[in-house]
Amino acid sequence: MAAATHSRRYPIGPQLDEYGASFRVWAPEGHSVEMVLEESGEAHPLTREETGHFSIHLPNVFAGTLYRFRLDHSETLYPDPASHYQPDGPHGPSQLVDHNSFKWHDQDWRGISPAGQVLYEMHIGTFTHEGTWAAAASHLPYLKELGITCIEMMPVADFPGLWGWGYDGVDLFAPTRLYGRPDDLKAFIDEAHRLGLGVILDVVYNHLGPDGNYLTEFSPWYLSKTHRNDWGQSINFDGESSRFVREFYLTNAIYWIREYHFDGFRFDATQAIIDESSEHILAAISRETRAAAAPRGIYLICENEAQNPTAVRPKDRGGYGMDALWNDDFHHSAMVALTGRNEAYYTDYLGEPQELLSSAKWGYLYQGQIYRWQQRRRGSPALDLPPTAYVHYLQNHDQVANYAMGCRAHQLAGLAQYRAMTALLILMPQTPLLFQGQEYAANQPFYFFSDHNPSLAKLIRKGRAKEMSQFPSVAHHLLEILPDPCAEQTFLACKLDVNERDASPVSQCIYRLHRDLLRLRRDEKTFSRVQQRGNVDGAVLGPGCFVLRFFGENEDDRLLIVNLHRDLHLAVAPEPLLAPPDGKSWDTLWTSEHPDYGGTGAAALETEGEDWRLPGDNWTIRGHCTTVLKPCPRKQINFPPPRRVGLEEDEMQ
């Protein structure tokens, strides 16, 4: 059959048209490639092109057709490297998908931008009992009512086994069959857009999974000959024959934007994406995906363990043009403050008020200082970045699972402290991210889990134990009873119980806490404007206690007073950030100790009156509590004459 002459939407992969379907693969070292139809066993030779691609157009081939490829007359058949669906998993045949058959209803959706986002990290397999896109979609109105603006979906590229996190994906164009069919994913996103929610996808462009990856059967050039990372060989973005490897990944990113209407990406472990090309692959993806989405806006987030801010700098300053970075520094400091423990990778954090307020002002805490845990400098200068350049969190999939028993933050700290820290997370200028179930203090753990063949499972168990052994407390007490990451019960234990959020009094209180804080962040103009750099300042008031002042228009400021320690009495308050606007005093707008949230109430923080001489009067700050203050007209109080500050002339003689 002759090579395809029909115009192609993408340079690789399958494509249906009114006459049949075309197929194109890159196999530069191959001498022949045949497409084999699964049902009939018919083999059709592809035509080799000068670039090392092989292509064919077949008439009378329709959506649902199963097929594989044979390389150089081998007996082994392989799925399409750019397969759009793998109904039987990575080792089975590929299936043709008609992307034009789904009827979208989001024509008026304009996409999202970095400002004003509240992210919700979701693992489809454990978000509901069913573990499907259809089941998850039914809960989107609940997330909208809560105040979420964007779902951050953990990876969905197909992976082997019956459960997993998705970071070992091998079919990068194929949404996993475990959560439903491709149209189910589209329906999820379509419903999210109808409700005004964005959806971004977590993608893994730093390595490929260890089982079911057939890319290297088609070309050894997919993997680098010179670069390595924590998973082995890096993806070849800058070496010999890297042109078409880059094309593969660029096409993949554009494909998710065009065919599934995703609103952007979270890029996993970008420090492991090694590229010395004149244009880094992430910069190319940023440029190409924004063009593909236009006029829709998209949102691009990077995880970068090394805390390199290059990704979010504009391209004219040598950056990649991304929007935001995950910030582990805030998480680590906050968790040390909540738990009192700073072992392993928490070693270089004290959880002190200065760390937390510095994170609110500057994002990363480490911007080039010595980092003892890694015995090197951590980060690079990033004082120029706006608050929108950072995503802050108390929980995410990694950090919950890295507690040996998959414990969540509220289980590691007292509820009062958890409420107080939650208020800081949601009201600080950076973009907050919630991990599924966090909004109602879910009691289900989140473990690391994967389903692999016995030989790989043995290595995964060993690797997980080694990872956990960096925590002395785990190595000494818990290593022998760690949940088996490859056991089905480990996966099932992580499934959320949606009934808990309505049935448990504690869950109801914590849900109201999150809902009201998100409304405050959205509706209070002073909080909504602080994502501009320089609109917040802070000061330490005492052990475990600090103030953040959010500067509003026309002196409509707000104070956020966070006290993670015991009650603090400020008989003297020589801190200018505590001073109210002229002619005003401070009044409580919100407190984490309100009974609606399970608290025991909190008195006014700043007091004045006829008893002003009493010891301890002035500021009384409740322990384990966060309070938001707003200015109000000052009451007229007859104070005694002020004491003289200096000596009168007759007293000096």
Residues annotated as catalytic are 268, 303
Which residue is listed with tokens 């379509």? 190
Tokens describing residue 391: 């995503």
Q: What amino acid occupies position 354?
A: Q
Q: What is the DSSP annotation of 492-522? A: HTTS--TTHHHH-HHHHHHHHHHHHHHHHHH
The sign one gets for the Cα dihedral 79, 80, 82, 88 is negative
Cα separation, 51 vs 221, whole angstroms: 13
Tokens describing residue 559: 């104070």
Q: What is the DSSP annotation of 627-648? A: EEEEEEEPPP--PPPPPPSS--
The sign one gets for the Cα dihedral 399, 400, 403, 408 is positive
Comparing CA positions, the residue from 320, 316, 359 lying closest to residue 337 is: 359
Angle ∠(124,187,512) on CA atoms, nearest 5: 55
According to DSSP, residue 523 is labeled H
Q: Which helix (H) or strand (E) holds 457?
A: helix 454-468
Cα distances (angstroms) measured from residue 262 to each of 95, 126, 318, 373, 452: 22, 21, 27, 37, 29
Cα distances (angstroms) measured from residue 238 to each of 282, 344, 371: 12, 34, 30
Contacts of residues 602-606 at CB distance under 8 Å and 24 or more positions apart, as own/partner, are 602/627, 605/561, 605/629, 606/578
Cα separation, 339 vs 335, whole angstroms: 6
User: Is residue 584 packed enough to be buried (19+ CB in 10 Å), middle (13-18) or exposed (0-12)?
Assistant: middle
Cα separation, 99 vs 84, whole angstroms: 10
Which residue is listed with tokens 């192609």? 8
What angle do the packed helices 415-427 and 505-523 form, to 10 degrees?
A: 20
Q: Is 111 within 8 Å of 142 (Cβ atoms)?
A: no
Q: What amino acid occupies position 330?
A: F
The set of residues, in sequence order, having a beta carbon less than 8 Å from that of 464 and lying 6+ positions away, is: 448, 482, 485
Q: Is 568 within 8 Å of 621 (Cβ atoms)?
A: yes
The torsion region of residue 218 among left (phi > 0), alpha (psi -120 to 50) and beta comes to alpha
Angle ∠(581,584,585) on CA atoms, nearest 5: 105
The sign one gets for the Cα dihedral 143, 148, 150, 156 is negative
Q: Is 628 within 8 Å of 421 (Cβ atoms)?
A: no
Cα distances (angstroms) measured from residue 570 to each of 216, 289, 542, 619: 66, 53, 9, 5
